[in-house]
């Protein structure tokens, strides 16, 4: 599948790093380093604009190495890029670590995964089918 993209940065287009990669790395398109203190959050531009096909979404996900080594993750868990969005892709990072972290131009800050989705319609009913689990949730089967 080909995705139309405008790259307003001087950084390379994202690419898959291995044959089995689901996500492509997004790069920080910033002119000066940004220090992210513990519990600070910031919107980092990528310089990328994409035309995601209808029926798909772009999911922005954190990078595991940044999370494990530095406590850097996405403030909104997973970011969604809708198929009708045409603005610049930005990444909301938060520092959950104990030390300041510096983001530099060209740093790999997140991953983008393209996912197919189904649109739903609600059918309002008076009751739902019974299951063996029922209403059990939030750790009801143990830790």
How far is it, in rounded angstroms, from Cα 76 to Cα 142?
28
How far is it, in rounded angstroms, from Cα 108 to Cα 86?
22
**pTM greater than 0.75:** yes
CATH superfamily label, 4-9+23-116: Deoxyuridine triphosphatase (dUTPase) (2.70.40.10)
Query: pLDDT at position 132, please?
Result: 82
CB count within 10 Å of CB 38 equals 13
How far is it, in rounded angstroms, from Cα 110 to Cα 123?
37
The pLDDT profile of the chain, 143 residues, written as one tens digit per residue, is 899 999 999 999 999 999 999 999 999 999 999 999 999 999 999 999 999 999 999 999 999 999 999 999 999 999 999 999 999 999 999 999 999 999 999 999 999 999 999 999 999 999 999 888 777 777 767 66
């Amino acid at each position: 599948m080909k995705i139309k993209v405008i790259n307003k940065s001087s950084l390379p287009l994202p690419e898959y790093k291995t044959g089995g990669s689901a996500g492509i790395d997004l790069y920080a398109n910033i002119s000066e380093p940004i220090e992210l203190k513990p519990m600070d959050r910031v919107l980092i531009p990528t310089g990328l604009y994409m035309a995601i096909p209808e029926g798909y979404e772009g999911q922005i996900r954190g990078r595991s190495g940044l999370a494990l080594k530095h406590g850097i993750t996405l403030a909104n868990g997973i970011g969604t890029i809708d198929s009708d969005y045409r603005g610049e892709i930005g990444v909301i990072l938060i520092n959950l670590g104990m030390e300041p972290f510096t983001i530099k131009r060209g740093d790999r800050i997140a991953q983008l995964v393209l996912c197919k989705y189904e649109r739903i319609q609600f059918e309002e009913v008076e009751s739902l089918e019974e299951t063996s689990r029922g209403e059990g949730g939030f750790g009801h089967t143990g830790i």
